[in-house]
Amino acid sequence: MKIVLTDSQTVFDNKVTAEPLNEFGEVKDYGLLRYDEIANAIAKADIVVCNKTLLNEDTLKSAKNLKYIGLFATGYNNIDIEYCSKHGITVCNAGSYSNNAVAQHTFALILEHFNNTANYNQYVQDGLWKRSKTFSPFVYPLSELAGKTIGIVGFGNIGKAVAKIANAFEMNVIAYNRSEKSAENVKFVSLEELIESSDIVTVHCPLNAQSENMFNKETFAKMKHGALFVNTARGGVMNENDLYDALNSGHLGGACIDTLKVEPMEQNCILMQAKNCIITPHIAWAPVETRLRLMDIVTSNIRNYLNGTPTNVVNP
C-alpha cells in the first residue's frame, strides 16, 4: 500500500506522529503541499490521508490507483464527494474526536469575554494594581453566566457537550438543529427565535450549502443588542464584513472566533480591526489528547476499510 499524507504538518508534532500508519504500508509524508503539488504527489497513491487539502477533480484525476481518502477531520467540504463516489473512492472522516476539546475552547472564549482575564492579568503585569486605590479595581466589566441564555446552532456531539457545560453554569440553554432532536434541560426552538432571544449565540454546525453565510448582516441585526457571537465551527458560516459592521456599530457586544473563511488569516483580515473581537488561530480541536484520539480513529478507519468493514464513510 502506498499511503500519502498531504498536510500532516497541520496535525503532527513531536507528541503526535504518523507512526501508527506504518502497519498499512509505505507512508510518504509531504508535510504541507501547495495546491499545484497535490496531483503529482498523490498520482500513485492507494490511500490519501489529509486534513484540509483540496481534493477535487483536478487534483484527483491522475490518481488512478486511489481507493480510499481518510480525513484528519470531521468536516469534509474540501473533498469532491461526487467525484469520489463516481470513481469508487471511499471517503471516511473522523467524527466525535474533538467534542470535549471544542466545547472546552468555546467556554474558554466565552469566559474570557465575560471575565476579561487576559486584560486583568495585563493590568497587574503593567504594575497598575500596585498603584490602585482599592483592592478590587473595576477596570474591565465582569458578568455572570448564570441566568444568561445561550443559543446553540447545530446540536451534534459538540453542541451536546456545550449544552452540558452551559447547564453546569446554570444557563438557560436553547438550541436549533435542522433535524429533530431532544435533550434534557435544553429547549429546541426555531433559528429565528434562537437568534432573537440569546445572550450568546454559539455555532456548531457543519459548513454546507445551507449554512454558508448563515450569519450575515440580516442575522446579526436580529440578535440582541450587546449579544455575544461565538464561532468555533467553520469560517464560512459567517460573513466577516457583516460581523465587523455589527461589532463596530456597537450592536453586538462581542465576538469570539476560532475559525475564518481563509486560513491562515489573510494580511488584510477586517476582523483585526473589529471592536471586542477575540480571535484564536483554529486551535479549539488541537489539544494533545484530542489529536492522539484523532490518530486512533484515522488508523481504525483504514484498518476497517482494508478488512472490508469501512467505518465513518461519508459518501455513498
- 3-29 pLDDT, tens per residue? 999 999 999 999 999 999 999 999 999
Judge whether 105 counts as a catalytic residue: no
Q: What is the pLDDT of residues 220-268, one digit of tens each?
A: 999 999 999 999 999 999 999 999 999 999 999 999 999 999 999 999 9
pLDDT-based confidence at residue 74 (cuts at 50, 70, 90): confident
pTM confidence score: 0.91
| pLDDT for residue 307 is more than 90 | yes
Catalytic residue of the set 105, 282, 291, 293: 282
E strands present in the chain: 2-5, 26-29, 47-50, 68-71, 90-92, 149-153, 172-176, 187-188, 200-203, 228-231, 254-257, 277-279
Q: What is the pLDDT of residues 277-300, one digit of tens each?
A: 999 999 999 999 999 999 999 999
Judge whether 212 counts as a catalytic residue: no
CA atoms of 57 and 50, how far apart (whole Å): 16
CA atoms of 21 and 27, how far apart (whole Å): 7
| pLDDT for residue 134 is more than 90 | yes
Catalytic residue of the set 234, 240, 291, 293: 234
Q: Which domains does the chain have, with CATH numbers?
A: 2-97+288-306 (3.40.50.720), 99-279 (3.40.50.720)
Locate cell 486605590: which residue?
Answer: 133
Q: What is the pLDDT of residues 101-115, one digit of tens each?
A: 999 999 999 999 999
The confidence score (pLDDT) of residue 316 equals 79
Average pLDDT of the chain to the nearest whole number: 97
Judge whether 263 counts as a catalytic residue: yes
Backbone angles phi, psi at 313, to 5 degrees: -75, 135
The confidence score (pLDDT) of residue 80 equals 98
Catalytic residue of the set 82, 263, 266, 289: 263
CA atoms of 93 and 156, how far apart (whole Å): 15
